[in-house]
Structure 1
Amino acid sequence: MSEPVTLRVENNIAVITIDNPPVNALSHAVRTGLSRQIQAAISDDAVKAIVLVASGRTFPAGADVREFGRPRETPILSQVCDLLETSPKPTIAAVHGNALGGGFELALACHYRVVLNNAKLGLPEVKLGVLPGGGGTQRVPRIVGAEAALDLMLSGKPIQAKKALGLGLIDKIAETDVDDAALAMAQQVVLEGAKTRPTRDRADGLQDAVAFANAVAARRKKMKNDPLPSVARIIDCVEAAQILPFEAGIAMERTAFDDCETGPEATAMRHAFFAERRAAKVPELKGATLRPVTSIGVVGAGTMGAGIAIACLDAGFPVVLVERDQDGLERGVQRIVSNYDKSVAKGRIDAATGEGRLSRLTGTTNMQDLTPVDLIIEAVFEDEDVKRNVFAQLDEVMKPGGILATNTSYLDIDALAATISRPQDVVGYHFFSPAHIMKLLEIVVGEKTDPNVVATGFELARKLRKVPVRAGVADGFIGNRVLAAYRLAADFMLEDGATPAQVDAAMRAFGFPIGPYQVLDMAGLDISWARRKRLAATRAPEDRYVSIGDKICEQGWFGQKAGRGYYIHDQEDGPVENPDVLEIIEDERRAQGITPRSFSDQEIQDRCLFAMANEGARLVSEGVALRPSDVDVVLLYGYGFPRHRGGPMMAADQVGLLKVKNALTSWRAEEPRFWAPSPLFDELIKNGRKFGDL
């Protein structure tokens, strides 16, 4: 294996090159190489300045995340940064690609920074539940002040080179070859007397102590309810940059990083990071031949169909949008046009980009116009008879080898595929609304789906910038199966004594953006009502059935779109609990002979979480989900599960599987089939394993 860090000397300039594909992650080997080569350059009397460059597609894009949670091997990043910053010879960073996290901190430790015009820089550590650990919390505030430093670190979002230049974080933008530009700057610095400029000695951002203190106090107030310990520690460290000597601030940052890194939140967020990457590894990819997809058809121009079309247009595909009548087509096209108009108005894209994307859209009411396209996404109403009719029409017009993807939330892919002559070409694409924004895509693999079709779906998801998860055929697939268990656990508590507002508040406190009954009102209560009616014939007589939702729907209260549901939505101050629903709940309790009892927030959270984890375990045992972490990815990206808890399977691991299983067993008398622990619990517990071990 070649050395990950090399040194060469050109005209008295030492060029240190990082070469650790694919993203030049700052692994132990890279840090060791940097330390050795920086010291060698400093010791060489012929060297007058040091330029730090990276080969490949990017400057270091961060730390090696695989090392997180393990004992840190020296040199640690802050020590490497210290070598660069205290060098008696000027150090210049040549940045291209994405200089993120430790990579950006490495550049900040250099005395000068030259950045390629399309590069991005940032400190995204908060997204992994930690904070910058290479001096970022101390160096950035010294340059830009507290407010801009906190924006960068608490959002975790990268910034463009142009913005970084405006803030003073970099010294020059290179339009073409950044390495040449950095070498030229090094020569110029040498000619001017080889001045060093340690960032630790800068005070540009510290000049107004009152403004600095006010910015820190305002951010502390704004973020006081954030569940991530790293958020509070970032604010503390930025404040330390103003009031403590540099070395004391660095020591404080290191302690804070170590504390956060080993905490449950950071552990869960690292799990989420790796789970997303693991989900893309499916058996069908091995030896697969991708089918060409250069054009896409979308059948159905409603809200979902229009969103899917936008996602495809954004990815550069020509799209043929089909609706059954002209009025429906015009409404669908107008949805798409309005979306791009809003994006232009908000500055997300320029007018030329919007026009370019719309120019690739063709609207039609003629199915025959779909014959040339490579892949068709059917996005009509969620009704099996309607979809069967569309499938029959598409079977007549699709070209040989074309892929037929059905966007469905619950329906049986195998049953639909069996109605046409090409079941091997049928796959499920479960998009989440709004389809052009939500990142999750469940790729549902039928019994006869060609593996090449599956592999092509994962490649398409990458182009659409979606997070794909493989699911087997089952009612609701992965996400809606787990969601149904979550809602049923909540419904049992509703009938037994809780209120919708109490359940929602408890789950918001757990970390969900909104609670289950708020979600139902937003989505429309009629959708879940239709599913309950569809599944009525499959319900066992002994299963407990909560009919509160049915009674609400029978009143015509379908949630937000009707102005009423579990909440009343026509209030100036926002939704308020619907007193008529509380009466329906009381009536149901009396009818069932239930004496209401109280529920603590902890019990509400436990019952909802354990129900989700139990259903996830069943999905893994049934082969609907390949692995527990896939269940986590679906819930994280499709259903708002709090990322700092890692998903229901990871959260169950952190609670302890024995504790979860014992709780499920204790509740089993209330509803034997629902609360019966999955056999996977016993299998794991007896072997001292967790879901994460799978």
Structure 2
Amino acid sequence: MRGADAAPQFVQRRTQEGVAVLTMAGPDGNRLGPELIAALARAFSAAWQDDGVRAVVLTARGPDFCAGAFADLPPPSPDPPQVPEGIAALADLCAKIAASPKPLVCALHGRVTSGGLALALAAQALVGDARATMHFPEPRLGRLPPGGGALRLAWRLGAEAALHLLNAPAPLSVEDPAIAPLSHLAPREGLLPAAQAFALHLARHREDIPAPYAGLEDAPAYRAALRVARAGTPRALPAHRQHESALLDVLEAAQLLPPDQALGFDLVHTQDAALTPSARAYAHLSQATRRALVTPESRATNMLSARNSPLLAALTPALAAQLVPGLLRDGVEVTLIDQSRDALAETLEAVAQEHLAMVRDGRMTQAASEQDWQRLSGRLSLDPAHPPALALASTAHLAWLGAGLPEGVEMVHWLEDGAAPQQAVSLRPAPARRARLCEIIVQEAAPALSVQRASRLAMRLKLTPLRMFERSALAQLRAAAARAEQEIQTAGAEPPLPPERMALLATINTGARLLREGVSLRPSDIDLTMVLGAGWPQWRGGPMAEGDMIGMLVLRHELRRAAAWNAELWTPDALFEELIQRGKRFSDLN
């Protein structure tokens, strides 16, 4: 539904003791898209015009007030960019909320992100559950916060605290000292009653409404924080970082311009940032990360059944020290197993030494270490009375552990140093010092639940899981890029295209083959593979996204030119002809 018809569906209202409680029930975790914005605008207008309403409380259904940014940008392509309609609509809604004729209190829980945080900052007051978090992801996605969020943050807290939140790589707790003044804390069970009571109090005592511009009171401190931020920003920023300078300009406008002019200035910069190719590339990768969790196995199983499963692990000491502490911290019960008492003791000692190092370095408290250690045990043989839900083994332990596992217990192979998959499901982390990617390599007829459990295990290790069929996509993509570079370096003549273009074409062509052969599920998975596993610049979006920017016809033409050098590497894959005949792009396969 859109416009007027969206209000009953996305925003629900009840009035109690003169307080209109508006509950967001929007799609996808209450992300602020055009339909939800329109529904909120109508609901607020109705509440403000109701003589029986003295104050308004805005809350949300579900685990989050607002789970994240709304996906309002199309994938990378040669098409001219358009300003997303929701940017101006949200800015207008936030302006109306800030000018509310009746006290408006937001009751915050879970994630309070992007447009949801902009709404909250526009309200007269915030009441938050202590477990709530705040985050503007936009500065890390090549954009500016929507709804005048950066301005209102600076108006309330000052430049230094605003920059602390705006530059935060992850959500901040509402109890973080820098942003704690934003909200009044309430117990989760009593969050809504506390917000209603506070809204009524403000209706009776308007002098207690928090000052909306308290952050501007210390003008020298405000200017000093901006000077420090500008000093840390390069004078000549590349195109994909121009939004960083624009954000500082907006914070400066918060102090120098009248509020209405500052909001207009912010809106122009927010819209401009959304039109850049890098913003579309970042948005593409953000959507690709969420899309990667949708696999044939996830459709066939309930992810809840893959959670909180005890893990049996047969690992080398070095691998156990690398993997087990993170699993314990995430609440996983781990049993280490080995045939040799000495080898088991060595493996347990390796985990203990890693825990000691984490405590010593301040990465973990002693109490947390002791708590985690309660979830770890060691065995020399399987316990028939308590079979594990999942077994994880490095290559050296596969044979003996597999022979002793009870029927129905699946074993996942942790691939090291280029080892070939030997199980129905294997985990292959990207070969990097701090891996961010883990390929889930699935063989024919692999049990769906085992694939889901392996994916869940990767996420608990803070790795992005990408499902591949039968073999690694990353290994082949990296090999193609390396081979292209070698061909160029050893050739006795100039290549038909610039070397960087030749390498890009080889990678895209290999990606097309992996898609046609079913190794990768979708082009965006290949983009994630290269960004997280091979260091491809995020602001470029990945090789397949770059291919869409070039266009299928141009790609085929350039590949044919490059094929004169090496037909095996650069001859256009059959997928190009199919896409051209159907008038499609790689993004259409996502």
With the shorter chain as reference, the TM-score category is 0.7 to 0.9
The answer on 1:175 being equivalent to 2:181 is: no
The answer on 1:146 being equivalent to 2:159 is: yes
The answer on 1:159 being equivalent to 2:161 is: no
Equivalent AA in structure 2 for residue 359 of structure 1: Q
Taking the TM superposition and a 5 Å limit, the aligned residue runs for 1:205-284 are 206=219, 208=221, 210-221=223-234, 224=237, 227-284=240-297
Q: Matched residue of 2:535: which SS? A: coil
Name the CA shift for 1:346/1:115 in 2 (closer, same or farther; >3 Å).
farther
The whole-number CA distance in structure 1 between the counterparts of 2:221 and 2:369 is 43
The whole-number CA distance in structure 2 between the counterparts of 1:232 and 1:658 is 37
1:665 alignment partner, one of 550, 557, 560? 560
**Which consecutive residues of structure 1, in runs of 5 or more, have no partner in the other structure?**
381-386, 418-425, 497-593
Name the CA shift for 1:194/1:100 in 2 (closer, same or farther; >3 Å).
same
Name the CA shift for 1:347/1:186 in 2 (closer, same or farther; >3 Å).
farther
Work out which structure has the larger RCO, using CA pairs closer than 8 Å and 6 or more positions apart in sequence: 2
Q: Which residue of 2 aligns with 1:104?
A: 117
Asked whether the 8 Å contact 1:114–1:178 carries over to 2, the reply is yes
The answer on 1:682 being equivalent to 2:581 is: no
Q: How many residues align?
A: 571
Deviates more, 1:319-328 or 1:41-50: 319-328
1:445 alignment partner, one of 436, 442, 446? 442
Deviation digits for residues 338-397 of structure 1 (CA, Å, limit 9, x no counterpart): 433343345443322222222322345x455799333222223xxxxxx5xx43312321
Taking the TM superposition and a 5 Å limit, the aligned residue runs for 1:286-365 are 286-288=299-301, 294-322=309-337, 329=344, 332-363=347-378
Deviation digits for residues 477-522 of structure 1 (CA, Å, limit 9, x no counterpart): 11111111122222333435xxxxxxxxxxxxxxxxxxxxxxxxxx
Displacement after TM superposition at 1:232 (Å): 2.5
Asked whether the 8 Å contact 2:47–2:53 carries over to 1, the reply is yes
The whole-number CA distance in structure 1 between the counterparts of 2:157 and 2:307 is 49
Displacement after TM superposition at 1:21 (Å): 4.6
Name the CA shift for 1:47/1:493 in 2 (closer, same or farther; >3 Å).
same
Name the CA shift for 1:108/1:62 in 2 (closer, same or farther; >3 Å).
same
Name the CA shift for 1:197/1:41 in 2 (closer, same or farther; >3 Å).
farther
The whole-number CA distance in structure 1 between the counterparts of 2:84 and 2:284 is 18
Equivalent AA in structure 2 for residue 171 of structure 1: S
Displacement after TM superposition at 1:464 (Å): 4.7
Q: Matched residue of 2:403: which SS? A: helix
Q: Matched residue of 1:396: which SS? A: helix
Q: Which residue of 1 aligns with 2:426?
A: 428
The whole-number CA distance in structure 1 between the counterparts of 2:500 and 2:342 is 46
1:72 alignment partner, one of 85, 97, 100? 85
Q: Which residue of 2 aligns with 1:54?
A: 60
The whole-number CA distance in structure 2 between the counterparts of 1:222 and 1:168 is 33
Asked whether the 8 Å contact 2:142–2:240 carries over to 1, the reply is no
Deviates more, 1:672-681 or 1:71-80: 71-80
Q: Matched residue of 2:587: which SS? A: helix
Name the CA shift for 1:627/1:205 in 2 (closer, same or farther; >3 Å).
farther
The whole-number CA distance in structure 1 between the counterparts of 2:444 and 2:13 is 56
Q: Matched residue of 1:605: which SS? A: helix
Displacement after TM superposition at 1:617 (Å): 0.9
The whole-number CA distance in structure 2 between the counterparts of 1:40 and 1:240 is 33
Deviation digits for residues 240-293 of structure 1 (CA, Å, limit 9, x no counterpart): 222222222222221222222122111111111221222222223344475797
Asked whether the 8 Å contact 1:631–1:647 carries over to 2, the reply is yes
Taking the TM superposition and a 5 Å limit, the aligned residue runs for 1:510-525 are none
Asked whether the 8 Å contact 2:102–2:203 carries over to 1, the reply is no
The answer on 1:654 being equivalent to 2:552 is: no
Name the CA shift for 1:163/1:223 in 2 (closer, same or farther; >3 Å).
farther
Asked whether the 8 Å contact 1:305–1:379 carries over to 2, the reply is no
Q: Matched residue of 1:56: which SS? A: coil
Name the CA shift for 1:622/1:90 in 2 (closer, same or farther; >3 Å).
same
Q: Which residue of 1 aligns with 2:78?
A: none
The whole-number CA distance in structure 2 between the counterparts of 1:292 and 1:54 is 26
Equivalent AA in structure 1 for residue 576 of structure 2: F
Asked whether the 8 Å contact 1:302–1:332 carries over to 2, the reply is yes
1:405 alignment partner, one of 402, 407, 412? 412
The whole-number CA distance in structure 2 between the counterparts of 1:297 and 1:644 is 40
The whole-number CA distance in structure 1 between the counterparts of 2:437 and 2:86 is 37
Name the CA shift for 1:329/1:640 in 2 (closer, same or farther; >3 Å).
farther
Q: Matched residue of 2:224: which SS? A: helix
Asked whether the 8 Å contact 1:309–1:321 carries over to 2, the reply is no
The whole-number CA distance in structure 2 between the counterparts of 1:604 and 1:337 is 49
Equivalent AA in structure 2 for residue 229 of structure 1: Q
What is the percentage of aligned positions where both structures have the same residue? 28
Q: Matched residue of 1:275: which SS? A: helix
2:29 alignment partner, one of 20, 23, 28? 23
**Which consecutive residues of structure 2, in runs of 5 or more, have no partner in the other structure?**
1-5, 75-81
Asked whether the 8 Å contact 1:86–1:198 carries over to 2, the reply is no
Displacement after TM superposition at 1:326 (Å): 6.0
Q: Matched residue of 2:167: which SS? A: helix
Asked whether the 8 Å contact 1:284–1:452 carries over to 2, the reply is yes
Q: Which residue of 1 aligns with 2:79?
A: none
1:631 alignment partner, one of 526, 529, 534? 526
Name the CA shift for 1:229/1:315 in 2 (closer, same or farther; >3 Å).
same
Asked whether the 8 Å contact 2:128–2:191 carries over to 1, the reply is yes
Instruction: Give the greater-gyration-radius structure (CA).
Output: 1
The whole-number CA distance in structure 2 between the counterparts of 1:223 and 1:329 is 56
RMSD: 3.1
Name the CA shift for 1:372/1:637 in 2 (closer, same or farther; >3 Å).
same
The answer on 1:468 being equivalent to 2:462 is: no
Equivalent AA in structure 2 for residue 172 of structure 1: H
The whole-number CA distance in structure 1 between the counterparts of 2:167 and 2:239 is 11
Taking the TM superposition and a 5 Å limit, the aligned residue runs for 1:594-609 are 594=492, 603-609=498-504
Asked whether the 8 Å contact 1:304–1:433 carries over to 2, the reply is no
Q: Which residue of 2 aligns with 1:552?
A: none
Asked whether the 8 Å contact 1:6–1:33 carries over to 2, the reply is no
Q: Which residue of 1 aligns with 2:473?
A: 478
The whole-number CA distance in structure 2 between the counterparts of 1:613 and 1:246 is 48
Displacement after TM superposition at 1:149 (Å): 1.8
Equivalent AA in structure 1 for residue 477 of structure 2: V
Displacement after TM superposition at 1:126 (Å): 2.3
Deviates more, 1:671-680 or 1:477-486: 671-680
The whole-number CA distance in structure 2 between the counterparts of 1:222 and 1:346 is 36
